[in-house]
């Protein structure tokens, strides 16, 4: 069904242009959301990759970029698996530190949510 609709849209110049603009806006929006979420705990990079996949469905530059990202992620995963346990522990600690810093920055800018107990924020400066 989807391929048939896409082929129909490609055969009509105006519909094709509108379709590409919609794909571009949606894909860029998903990428922007993912980049906004990257420093926070959660699937920020996964959302960026999904946005690139949306863009890659219509734009060759995005397909090339997605291939580059895939290659880098596979290389990173292989490196982590092959690394010694102290290196993996250091990477885990650095990641946890980055997440804690991002959470602190969000709490300092937006305020600590009411559901967080007072004992969980023991006199941290700026909170």
The 10s digit of each residue's pLDDT in 86-116 is 999 999 999 889 888 888 888 888 888 888 8
Selection from 3, 47, 7, 9 nearest residue 28 by Cα: 47
What is the 8-class DSSP label of residue 120?
G
Q: CB of 52 within 8 A of CB of 31?
A: yes
pLDDT, residue 32, reads: 95
pLDDT, residue 110, reads: 83
Query: What integer is the mean pLDDT of 9-21?
Result: 88
pLDDT, residue 127, reads: 67
Query: What integer is the mean pLDDT of 10-28?
Result: 91
Whether this model's pTM surpasses 0.75: no
């Amino acid at each position: 069904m989807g391929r048939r609709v896409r082929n129909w849209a490609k055969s009509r110049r105006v519909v094709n242009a509108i379709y590409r603009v919609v794909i571009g806006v949606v894909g860029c929006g998903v990428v922007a959301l993912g980049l906004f979420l990257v420093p926070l705990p959660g699937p920020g990079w996964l959302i960026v990759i999904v946005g690139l996949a949306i863009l890659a469905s219509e734009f060759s530059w995005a397909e090339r970029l997605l291939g580059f990202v895939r290659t880098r992620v596979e290389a990173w995963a292989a490196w982590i698996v092959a690394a010694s346990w102290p290196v993996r522990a250091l990477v885990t600690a650095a990641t946890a530190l980055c997440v804690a810093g991002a959470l602190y920055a969000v709490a300092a800018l937006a305020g600590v949510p009411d559901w967080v107990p007072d004992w969980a924020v023991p006199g941290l400066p700026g909170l």
